[in-house]
Structure 1
Amino acid sequence: KFYRRDILIESPLGLKMAILGVASQTDEQDEGNANNGNGRQKGDRNPKKSNIDFLSSIDICYIGHSDVLLMQNWDHVRTLFDNPDEVEDISPPKGQASSGTQSLINHQPTQHNEHTDFSRVRPYFLSGQASRYRQLIMVSSLPDARLTSTFKRHAVNWEGRIRLRASVPSSRSAIVNVTVPHVRQVFQHVPCSSLSQQSDSRVNHFLQTVLPP
């Protein structure tokens, strides 16, 4: 059903379950066929396990509310980019090592099916350069080192990448603008050497400064 769609709107978890669900179902079928003597031995390659080729032609990947996905489970998003071996029989092309650029999205198709239109296959797909033409758009209401790392690692479009940040006027960035009336609030400065260390810095500040009596 995915191959006939021009636009896919999926949650990372839902897409991951759909992909891994195909693999797990065919695993059970293979084992049953092997036990029944139907000719397929357990461990033989089942073409249905590679039923993720619909992700190979993604031209625009839009990840909205990235901060919300980050608070749920960012590993589901990383699976689509970082882990091509999560689905059996999906491995890098011969002579190419597994890396972040060899991902489920824009991976090299492993087979053709009745929906394949060879007249629309672009040359750069065949040469393994699909990710260089893909647009990766990530939207978040707050910065985070994991979002920045994912964007820098997988936004590999040959045109480059750009980061837009909303400008907050100084008149709205003061602490007095975020106070809640009739509620006592205490703001403390947490020293941090870099954005990637912010989580550890907050924990250390809590353990060393806030928690002790």
Structure 2
Amino acid sequence: MTSVTQIVAFGGVVMLGAMSPGPDFAVVVRRSAVSGRGRGMAAAAGISLGVSAWVAAAATGIAALLAASAVAFTVVKVVGTAYLLFLGVKALRAALRSGGELSLDVPDPGGRSSWAAFAEGLLTNVLNPKAALFFVALVPQFVASDAALGDALVLSVVALAGTVAWFTVVANIVGALRKVFARPAVRRSVDGLTGAALIGLGVNLAAAGRP
């Protein structure tokens, strides 16, 4: 059985990982800045679900199979790279597009913007094979190979809660500055910076190899 001390330590490590700059952070910041805190929190929820899934996969050995398989790792890497580049180019196109005052309260067509933001966050995390490598290395430090399924579920819930907490804070801070981000020049700057960051992260992921 995983002890309380191990659970707290695991939660701390996951929080530090979530705080590090990466695709997840860039997506939450841009979504919160462009669409408001609600969409940012939806993206955060998607990312957190992805993290929880990776923890469960690592605890049950699925993530280890991905890390060990050159074909599986390459497929996820290629798809993940393509998705990050897609998001980056989309953001850069928005930065280059001229327009008037931005209203963050206008919903996306079809009323599916929250789900779209959720899916964006989920796919950004799930399609990142570096997440698999991270949790394959981390989870065995806290869960024995013969651990019960309950231990894996506990760690998954801890990872979910910690990631939700961090990215919710990020979404709310950025969302609270909505009047600043409503200015066209600021909006274009955010789009440009996050677009360049996502493209850079996509290129970095493309160059990544299995350990």
**Which of the five TM-score ranges fits, normalised by the shorter chain?**
under 0.3
* RCO comparison, higher one (Cα < 8 Å, 6+): 2
User: TM-score normalised to the size of structure 1?
Assistant: 0.23
User: TM-score normalised to the size of structure 2?
Assistant: 0.24
Question: Highest Rg: 1 or 2?
Answer: 1
